[in-house]
Structure 1
């Protein structure tokens, strides 16, 4: 019986999928904690953010946009699931795409209509393996439904 190298196709793909899933969860954790340094580690320097209401070119612009959107809230909780990943191991240094769904609760006590807004939607990511691990090179965020007090939002979020 032969040995399986970590660099072999199936093992490498499993490790890549685990690392990408962890990265997607780290983005959510960083946003909820307002940990902008941690959030920055998730993106490549040249990353592009494509949200329903804004586009950001570069990691610093993505972080600034996230901060402007999230800082007015008293709390947020992003729950991410249904992560599906396609790894293109034949490319160097390695690329992948990922799709995930989210439900994000936004709380703002000073809002006039109850203070809670829930948004559901999709994250679609392009990723690249780097010396520091997997990084997001493009994230597309699309809200597909919303419910609650939209006055919670300082920036409107279009829902498809």
Structure 2
């Protein structure tokens, strides 16, 4: 049996916990559990989520996400290919995402897909790892943008 050092064990635990934060984000979105995002971001977090406007604070982030997703009939946000780099109590994380959005009443069809990556800055808090800044880098989209714009 190979033993690992406490530093190696901590690195593995940090990697696991950071990926778990990224996954918790997707479940909160798809289940419309907006307050669940408070377990993902710090209170003073910032984000750029697919548009150039920088959101400041958890309430602004929740408001932007809620406005985009609440009217949908369903969504599915998948994340993978996680890369985590920890440096003490801070970390960077990035992963690919594939998000499907469905709104049956949308004029022009019910489907809109976004593919891209999340690029995160994170910090270790007393409650675990949290995102301090999230950047959504959209790589491509397909389908009807009216689905997420709310057009009838």
TM-score scaled by length of structure 1: 0.88
C-alpha displacement at 1:140, in angstroms? 0.2
Q: Which runs of 4 or more aligned residues in structure 1 lie more than 2 Å from their structure 2 counterparts after TM superposition?
A: none
Aligned mates of 1:52, 1:33 — CA distance in 2: 20
C-alpha displacement at 1:52, in angstroms? 2.6
Q: Which runs of 5+ in 1 are unaligned?
A: 156-160
Matches within 5 A, 1:87-102: 87-89=86-88, 94-102=89-97
Does structure 2 retain, via aligned residues, the 8 Å contact 1:72–1:154? Answer: no
* SS of aligned partner of 1:153: helix
Residue aligning to 2:100: 105
Q: Which runs of 5+ in 2 are unaligned?
A: none
CA RMSD of aligned residues (A): 1.8
C-alpha displacement at 1:15, in angstroms? 0.3
Matches within 5 A, 1:8-157: 8-53=6-51, 54-89=53-88, 94-154=89-149
Aligned length: 149
Does structure 2 retain, via aligned residues, the 8 Å contact 1:75–1:107? Answer: yes
TM-score scaled by length of structure 2: 0.92
